[in-house]
Structure 1
């Protein structure tokens, strides 16, 4: 009887690890959309650093990390127009300020989504933001994606203007992270 009891205890403690797998971040895409009366600017953030790089997928879904940190090098923000890119990175404080950063303060899960709250720092100013990240499975890939809006004025970023027309204050940020086993 004690042999059976020991076997059951060992089995029960090993079951969660049998049904979990490590997922590694393979691709991170962070894009922004700024609207000017003459043009909608679609930009991409390259060279992004995300931590943690590995998450655990278990029987109850994707395990919530204690903390998410994201760093975007300002010099790697591209909009498809070099002159505009120079103005964008200058208005973000470059070269004095080299990164835009986000650090989560809380993450809560509900079905296939996480509500992520944290501090976004742009041009030395930190503001609290909240975003809902949807978690989807596409074949072997696990994808976290979502969006949120910020105001340039909240971060003392000068709104671009051209021919007496000024861009809208609101900028939409979209993100998509692809994790693979």
Structure 2
């Protein structure tokens, strides 16, 4: 019995030696190659706005093939729809002066070859909501390129959809991204 307990203890200690955390490194996004785009619809027209001022970091292995965590932040005022009046109205509608940033932090990421299943929290307009989305991943010249899209409802984040000529936009904002690390 003592031998069995001793062997079990040695076995468990040996497993602990192999269960050490893998070495992860922080990799920052290349802002020059990493836009986030939103798309909105109004009964009279549709438009997009893009931010090229995306701050993001991942925790990854040295090959950049396995991503453990991601954090992203973008300034509300950095989105450009090629219409200064509309951009100003969006900052007003989303209270971009009071809530200047939109952020996402992952809780977990499932790496499935060239696909990612990302679970985390999106904070917009001071409201944090759980979010899930899928993304595509490829490694080119030792850089990880992550692309994907998802939708959010403005009312889920306590934002009233803006209106033009007495007609409100759709509640849904479609977001797409390409982030290069």
TM-score interval, normalised by the smaller of the two chains: 0.7 to 0.9
Query: How far apart are the structure 1 equivalents of 2:26 and 2:120?
Result: 25
Aligned residue in 2 for 1:144:
146
Task: Give the ranges of 4+ consecutive aligned residues of structure 1 lying more than 2 Å apart after TM superposition.
Answer: 21-27, 54-58, 136-142
Partner residue of 1:116 out of 115, 118, 134: 118
Match of 1:28 in 2: 34
Partner of 1:87: 89
Pairwise CA RMSD: 2.4
SS of the residue aligned with 1:75?
helix
Q: 1:138 to 1:38 in 2, by over 3 A?
A: farther
1:62 aligns with 2:65: yes
> What is the TM-score of this pair, normalised by structure 1?
0.77
Q: For 2:44, which of 38, 47, 51 is the aligned residue?
A: 38
More strand by share: 1
List runs of 5+ in structure 2 lacking aligned partners.
Answer: 1-22
Deviations 1:71-106 (A, max 9, x none): 111121211110100111111112111111111111
1:70 and 1:103 in contact (8 A); partners too: yes
Structure 2 length-normalised TM = 0.77
Could you tell me which residue of structure 1 aligns to residue 56 of structure 2?
50
Q: How far, CA to CA, are the matches of 2:103 and 2:130 in structure 1?
A: 12
Structure 2 residue corresponding to 1:166, chosen from 165, 168, 180: 168
Among candidates 107, 118, 128, match of residue 105 of structure 1? 107
| SS in structure 1 at match of 2:85 | helix
Contact 1:24–1:55, Cα closer than 8 Å, also in 2: no
> 1:39 and 1:154, CA in 2 relative to 1: closer, same or farther beyond 3 A?
same
Query: How many residues are treated as equivalent by the alignment?
Result: 157
For 1:139 and 1:63, locate their aligned partners in 2 and report how far apart those are by CA, in whole Å: 16
SS in 1 for 2:67: coil
Structure 1 residue runs of 5 or longer lacking an equivalent are 1-16
